[in-house]
Amino acid sequence: MKILIILFTVITTLRLTAHAPAPHDLRVVVRDAETHDPIRGATVRVGTRGAVTDRSGAVVLHGMPDTSVVITRMIGYGERRDTLVLTAVLTSVNVDLVSRAVTTQDVTVTASRHEQSREESPVIVTVSDQQVFRAAQAVSLSEGLSYQPGLRLENNCQNCGFTQVRLNGMQGPYTQILVDSRPVFSALNGVYGLEQIPASMVDRIEVIRGAGSAMYGAGAIAGTVNISTRDPLTTSASVSSTTSWINARTPDATINARGTWVSDDLNTGLTLFWPHSHTRTFRCERRWIQQVPKLWNASGGGRFVYQASEQDRFSAEGHWIREFRRGGDHFDLVPHEADIAEQLDHAIGGGAVSYEHAFSGDRQRIAGYASMQSTIRYSYYGGTGGDPAAAERAKLYYGTTNDIIGVGGVQFTSQEWQPFGIQSVLSTGLEIAGNHVVDEMPGYGRSIDQQTLSTGLYAQLQLSPASPLSIALGARFDALDISGTYQFDPSSF
């Protein structure tokens, strides 16, 4: 009896071994559908596993199942899904991607603070990418925002030329401006910041119309504008120059230089940019007050990305901006000798670091981040008003503002929890933001020294019971501490 049992066990084991499915290796070559040129940097995924194509547009995935659903994505191309039945040990396929002028399935992060297709987003997200900026020959962020549906960009001062965004009919302060999903746009930066950020720094702009306070705080009452900076994709360098004329007389010149480097294994990348813009003034006939402010802008920066593994990603970013603008009249005179003048000189510097780690087959992700930005502004607002007796008083209308803002936090995202068998994504995190501003304007008897500290806890659950239905439930708790000294002397007027 013992002999029979042993024989039966051996035979059964051999039969199971003979019928065990052999692992397959899949080689995918990604090409442009029109030119058949290989596409470097495309993402190829099968389930929770994925890789990025090399210089030849190829990638090899090991240990694939008999039936594999291959998802191929690349910026500027349509997403492609292919179901393959693998029979050989090594299967090689060509995947041709179709270029498109307008992206319809962009990957966005603004709606839920994690990457997902626009079609899967629980709220409507409109995207302007580099193709929009190039078509509009946009120099700054504000010029690219003009092409967003449901958004109005206003010029609210003929003197200094400051702009603001209106969403849902509400003024600019009710819209939350984010840089890489971080709220480092302080109240001071929000006045002229839309024109100060160069277009070459921006990869895309994501806009949500409507309240997003659960994820981003009380500043997102009217909507959210998220500015995503550019990641290095290929090794390249470019220099461009654009000149236009206002009223066929006044030149507006812009010079842009940009370079990117990517390692052979595509795990390390660096982007550097240096834009320079100079706008002269335009004076309407019969008036001395300038219709367009005198403007000089220079900025630069870089972004470093290191993909340590398929699960770990580190990035660091730094930038600086220097801008001078002058409005009013008599530009040949110093500001306090003009009839009316508004002059601002900004020096801005900032940076950010972030680290992401994925686990559980990329179904869970934790991220830590820190951002900081410092702004120094030298300003003048006033003039003699054409009265020589006011010349001495006009010298007092100079001011200085120092502003520094910092943001840090951690975020956890999970797709593991499936309540009642419903596909879901849970995002939760902690965010701490601090701001210190010192504003001095002796001529107006104004002195402000204010510190704010905000601590926020947030959570959002996105449920997808059936395609295309998606429901988002979110909540946020903020503790805000404001302190400072405020002085204002009405007798100064």
- CA–CA dist 439, 400 (Å, integer): 6
Q: Is 30 within the bounds of a domain?
A: yes
- CA–CA dist 229, 197 (Å, integer): 11
- CA-nearest of 58, 56, 63 to 44 is 58
pLDDT value of position 9: 36
Q: Which residue has the tokens 């596409």?
A: 39
Domain C-terminal end among 66, 97, 128: 97
* 98: Cβ contacts below 8 Å, ≥ 6 apart: 33, 34, 77, 78
Q: Is 210 within the bounds of a domain?
A: no
- CA-nearest of 393, 354, 356 to 371 is 354
- CA–CA dist 460, 172 (Å, integer): 26
The count of other CB atoms within 10 Å of the CB of residue 239 is 10
Residue 49 corresponds to which tokens in the numbers above? 């596993």
Task: Give pTM, 2 decimals.
Answer: 0.75
Q: Is 445 within the bounds of a domain?
A: yes
Cα–Cα–Cα angle for 285, 295, 184, nearest 5°?
A: 140
Q: Is 350 within the bounds of a domain?
A: yes
pLDDT value of position 245: 80
Q: Are 204 and 198 in contact (CB under 8 A)?
A: no
Q: Is 126 within the bounds of a domain?
A: no
The boundaries of the domain holding residue 31 are 2-97
Please report, in tens digits, the pLDDT of each residue of the chain (493 residues total): 444 433 333 333 333 333 445 568 889 999 988 888 889 888 898 876 778 888 888 998 888 888 888 999 887 788 888 888 887 777 888 999 988 654 444 555 555 666 666 666 667 788 888 888 887 778 788 888 877 877 888 877 777 777 888 888 788 788 888 888 888 888 888 888 888 888 878 888 888 887 766 677 777 788 888 888 888 878 889 888 888 787 777 777 888 888 999 888 778 999 998 877 766 666 655 456 677 788 888 899 999 999 888 789 999 999 999 999 998 888 888 999 998 899 999 999 999 999 999 887 778 899 999 999 999 999 999 988 888 888 888 899 999 999 999 999 999 999 888 887 888 889 999 999 999 999 999 888 889 999 999 999 999 888 888 777 888 888 889 999 999 999 887 766 5
Q: Is 132 within the bounds of a domain?
A: no
- How would you class 318 by CB atoms within 10 Å of its CB: exposed for 0-12, middle for 13-18, buried for 19 or more? middle
pLDDT value of position 43: 87
Domain C-terminal end among 71, 97, 123: 97
Instruction: Give me the phi and psi of 236, to 5 degrees please.
Output: -160, 170
Residue 85 corresponds to which tokens in the numbers above? 């039945």
Give the chain's domain count.
2
Residue 31 Rama label (left phi>0; alpha psi -120 to 50; beta): beta
41: domain CATH number? 2.60.40.1120
Q: Which residues of 230-328 form beta strands (DSSP E)? A: 236-246, 250-262, 268-279, 294-307, 312-328
Q: Is 322 within the bounds of a domain?
A: yes
* 256: Cβ contacts below 8 Å, ≥ 6 apart: 198, 200, 238, 239, 240, 241, 242, 273, 274, 275, 276
The count of other CB atoms within 10 Å of the CB of residue 212 is 26
Domain C-terminal end among 53, 78, 97: 97
What does the DSSP assignment read for 341-378? EEEEEEEEEEEEEEEEEEETTTTEEEEEEEEEEEEEEE
Q: Are 451 and 201 in contact (CB under 8 A)?
A: no
Q: Is 247 within the bounds of a domain?
A: no
pLDDT value of position 103: 43
